[in-house]
Amino acid sequence: MPKRKATGDDKSQETRDTASKQSGELINNLNALSANDFQQQYLKPARLAPPTTEALEGPQVEISFKASGDLTKDELSQCLNLIASTSRQHYESSGWGWHPRRKTREMKEAEMRYLLVRSTVSTAPSGSEPVEEADIEGFLSFMLTHDSSPPVPVLYVYEVHLVPRLRKLGLGAHLMRVVEEVAKDAGVEKVMLTCFVCNERARKFYESRGYGKDVISPEDRRTRAKIVKADYVIMSREAA
């Protein structure tokens, strides 16, 4: 992702170096936690529990947590297919283009973590065949990282996707609220994300949650012939 340009301030170099070291230690310690330890500290069942709404017709949903390394090939494929079905057109109309292999590599990065949304599956009767796990119908992926140098610790939201039947039910807001609470408890400074400029509905959704254009978001570029508008905007809000 784009890096913030260095700007002058009144901090001494020693103060900046100390802050940078502490920031690096925070992120390293958070990423060193096993998936189980991370969930125990930041994603207890009460926090993951989806909102109750009568608008959810048919099967209710459940939200589970997994680190990227614990995703099965089928789960990874389902998540990629969900991105393609909801956002491929945005990628193709941008300068990034749609590159499934590149996206898959990003999704498998060691520090990536996932909140997976599935329809609730009833428990199989005793002695019967195990009930097959329901397909993934939504997910949010995020990473605890730095947004610039000197490092600023952030929780970066990479993807938020839901199948059509689960939209406008408060699930997207709930997933965002979960990671915003994680960011606050973990002690990072900001929650950040990237939004395609052409995806006005998503941008308005993030703005409704207090996100605004971040200082490192790319600006439009002026050439001799025209103004080249940025394809995407980097948005952020304070974690505290």
166 within 8 A of 137, measured Cβ to Cβ: yes
pLDDT digits (tens, 9 = 90+) for 113-154: 999 999 886 544 555 554 567 899 999 999 999 986 567 999
**Nearest CA-CA partner of 156 in 146, 165, 168:** 146
Helix axes 100-107, 73-92, angle to 10 degrees: 130
Q: Using pLDDT thresholds of 50, 70 and 90, give the confidence band for residue 53.
A: low
pLDDT at 13 over 70: no
Model pLDDT, residue 17: 56
38 within 8 A of 185, measured Cβ to Cβ: no
Model pLDDT, residue 7: 36
Mean pLDDT confidence for 12-30: 70
Cβ partners under 8 Å of residue 197, min gap 6: 203, 229, 230, 231, 232, 233
At 86, is the secondary structure helix, strand, or coil? helix
Q: What is the mean pLDDT of the chain?
A: 86
pLDDT digits (tens, 9 = 90+) for 83-115: 999 999 999 999 899 999 999 999 999 999 999
Measured torsion, CA atoms of residues 44, 46, 47, 53, in degrees rounded to the nearest 10? 150
**Nearest CA-CA partner of 159 in 210, 116, 219, 121:** 116
* 199, amino acid identity: N
Model pLDDT, residue 220: 74
Mean pLDDT confidence for 206-225: 88
pLDDT digits (tens, 9 = 90+) for 178-198: 999 999 999 999 999 999 999
Mean pLDDT confidence for 209-214: 96
**Nearest CA-CA partner of 180 in 239, 138, 231, 235:** 239
- Give the separation between CA 157 and CA 235, rounded to whole angstroms: 10
Domain 13-184: CATH superfamily is Gcn5-related N-acetyltransferase (GNAT) (3.40.630.30)
Model pLDDT, residue 55: 59
pTM for the whole thing? 0.85
- Give the separation between CA 128 and CA 33, rounded to whole angstroms: 37
Residue 207's alpha-carbon distances to 179, 213, 215, 236, in angstroms, are 16, 9, 15, 9
Secondary structure E strands in 94-222: 113-119, 136-146, 153-162, 190-196, 212-213, 221-222
| % of the chain exceeding 90 in pLDDT | 68
